[in-house]
Amino acid sequence: MTVSKDVAVKIIDSTLHSDVDTASFDYMKEVAFGFETGSLSEVIRKWHNNVYIKLHAVNNDGTTTTPNASDFAELQSIVSELNELITTIDIVLLTGGSSDECVSETHALGSSGTCSTTGYPKPNINLYITTTARWAIISGQSEGSLSGLGGQFLVSANTTSITSARCWVSSALSATNRKSLIREEITQPLGFGKDSETHSDSIFYETAGDGGFATAFSQLDKNIIRMVYDRRLKGGETVVEAEEILKKPFAVVSGESYEFKPSTSQNITVQQSKLDARFEDNNEFIG
């Protein structure tokens, strides 16, 4: 006797679509294709591996200090919110122990020490809360080039993926502004490399006269984070390609998820196109 059962296979886990949620996709076009500087092409880049964030609170002389409790609490909250929005990877905040706090190291040029590369798991996003002068040393930039900035992120990326990042928030900012910049500088290197002048309640908002200090994700922010990390996007898509891929499918089952139930008597072959293996120079790009 043969016993069979229905097998439900989730094929789309998002209720957001480029041809339905046009305002969200329009905003995604503004911030999620390419970066403010550098020569990378303007395509979707995202993380395909889990993200491990390490927080460094650093004095002006490069020595480690204890992270501000409210800064750390805000970072914990942001990581929790991002994990609610992104289901394809895990985002982990590395915490605890003197080794995580880098007590024995003077933070100099990022590649010269071991603090940003040690721990288990190994961090792939390092967030520094420190002075402008110390960040200039850590990032290898001139202090003058950072004039007027309260934060910054640097990423390493290829044609489809972001593989590591370093972020900075100025320790000279007020507590409220640090709260805003921590959220922005942690979220942008996840694949949102450009600022925008169109939505003042967005964490990506910035104009020449207004740095934008939103302290929470707007609904549009949440929508575009979910869209970039939609399983249908593999990375490397242009605006035109992403818009087509994210369109609402013709045949759907109403509800929060879209599923089909194939007969077990059928032979089902699932083909997944191979990602383009050609890589651009894996250099850091500034946001």
Model confidence pLDDT, tens digit, residues 132-154: 999 999 999 999 999 999 999 99
- Beta-strand (E) ranges in the chain? 9-12, 51-57, 91-94, 125-130, 151-157, 162-170, 258-260, 284-286
Higher local confidence (pLDDT), 231 or 117: 231
- Residue 73 clears pLDDT 70, i.e. is over it: yes
Dihedral angle computed from the Cα positions of residues 77, 83, 89 and 94, in that order, rounded to the nearest 10 degrees:
20
- Residue 33 clears pLDDT 50, i.e. is over it: yes
Lowest mean pLDDT among 120-124, 137-141, 203-207: 120-124
pLDDT average, residue stretch 106-122: 74
- Residue 187 clears pLDDT 60, i.e. is over it: yes
Higher local confidence (pLDDT), 182 or 110: 182
Q: CA nearest 91: which of 103, 100, 83, 102?
A: 83
| CATH architecture of the region 22-234 | 3-Layer(aba) Sandwich (3.40)
Residue 203 token pair: 């964490």
pLDDT grade for 264, boundaries at 50, 70 and 90: very low
Quote the pLDDT of residue 285. 61
Please give the single-letter amino acid code of residue 257: S
Structural domain spans, the chain: 22-234
Q: Residue 25, class by beta-carbon neighbours within 10 Å (0-12 exposed, 13-18 middle, 19+ buried)?
A: buried
Give tens-digit pLDDT for 224-250.
999 999 999 999 999 999 999 999 986
- Residue 1 clears pLDDT 50, i.e. is over it: no
